Amino acid sequence: MQVELTHFLVVSTLLFSMGVFAIVTRKNAILVLMGIELMLNAANINFVAFSKFGGFGLSGQVIALFVIILAAAEAAIALAIVLNIYKTFSNVNVDEINNLKE
């Protein structure tokens, strides 16, 4: 079977949906962050696949590299913040960190 653009898109859409799903349903901050990573990677797959099948040169791959770097930076900061949360609240459960009232 020939692997075509559609297949990539299906995979990326699935990843994206799973990411959104994780963000919406998970309570643990780490899992939420993983959901965000899934979204970013779904976009990456798109970039690379479009670039390859659309004949847009190498720009898609370059963009994907940028995104990977940013994702790493974001993960670093995110984990630092989560660590900070853990120190103050002794858990990383998003639902329970709710001192700021409505």
Which residues face 28 on adjacent strands? 93
72 binds other proteins, rule: CB under 8 A: no
CA-wise closest residue to 52 among 9, 95, 96, 97 = 9
Tokens encoding 1:
């079977």
Which lies closer to other proteins via its Cβ, residue 25 or residue 56?
Answer: 56
In the complex, minimum distance from the CB of residue 2 to other proteins, in angstroms, rounded to a whole number = 19
CA-wise closest residue to 36 among 3, 5, 91, 82 = 82
28 binds other proteins, rule: CB under 8 A: no
21 binds other proteins, rule: CB under 8 A: no
31 binds other proteins, rule: CB under 8 A: no
